[in-house]
Amino acid sequence: MTTYLIGDLQGCDAAFARMLDVIAFDPAHDRLIVLGDAVNRGPDSLTALRRLMALGDAAQCLLGNHDLHLLAVAHGVRKMHRSDTLQPILQATDREALLDWVRNRPLALFEQGWLLVHAGVLPQWTVEKTLQLAAEVQEQLRSADLPAFLQDLFGNDPDRWNDHLQGPERWRITVNALTRLRFIDTNGADGGRIDFHCKKEADRAPQGLVPWFGVPGRQTQGVPIAFGHWSTLGLHWADNALCLDSGCLWGGSLSAVPLPRPGQRWLQIHSQPCPRQLEPMPF
Mean local confidence (pLDDT), 193-220: 93
Percent of the residues in the chain that have a pLDDT greater than 70, as a whole number: 95
Determine the pLDDT at residue 274: 87
pLDDT given for residue 177 in this prediction? 98
Residue 119 has what pLDDT? Answer: 98
Does residue 189 surpass a pLDDT of 90?
Answer: no
Contacts of 126 (CB under 8 A, 6+ apart): 219, 220
> Who contacts 214 (Cβ-Cβ below 8 Å, separation ≥6)?
202, 239
**For the segment 61-108, what is each residue's pLDDT rounded down to a tens digit?**
999 999 999 999 999 999 999 999 999 999 999 999 999 999 999 999
User: So what's the pLDDT on residue 279?
Assistant: 61
Over residues 33-53, the pLDDT tens digits come to 999 999 999 999 999 999 999
CA quadruple 83, 68, 160, 202: dihedral sign: negative
Helix (H) or strand (E) holding 101: helix 95-103
- The band of 282, judged by pLDDT with boundaries at 50, 70 and 90, is very low
Q: Are 198 and 190 in contact (CB under 8 A)?
A: no
Element containing residue 48 per DSSP (H, E): helix 45-54
C-alpha atoms less than 13 angstroms from C-alpha of 150 in its C-beta half-sphere: 22
Handedness of CA 70, 72, 76, 80 (dihedral sign): negative
Residue among 163, 104, 169, 108 nearest 139 (CA) = 104
Residue 123: per-residue pLDDT? 96
Q: Read off the pLDDT band of 190 (50, 70, 90).
A: low
Q: What is the pLDDT of residue 188?
A: 72
The stretch 16-40 carries a mean pLDDT of 97
Q: What's the pLDDT at 44?
A: 97
Average pLDDT, the chain: 94
Specify the pLDDT at position 283.
Answer: 38
Average pLDDT over residues 131-156: 96
- Whole-model pTM? 0.95
Sheet holding 270-273, edge to edge: 59-61, 31-34, 3-6, 253-258, 270-273
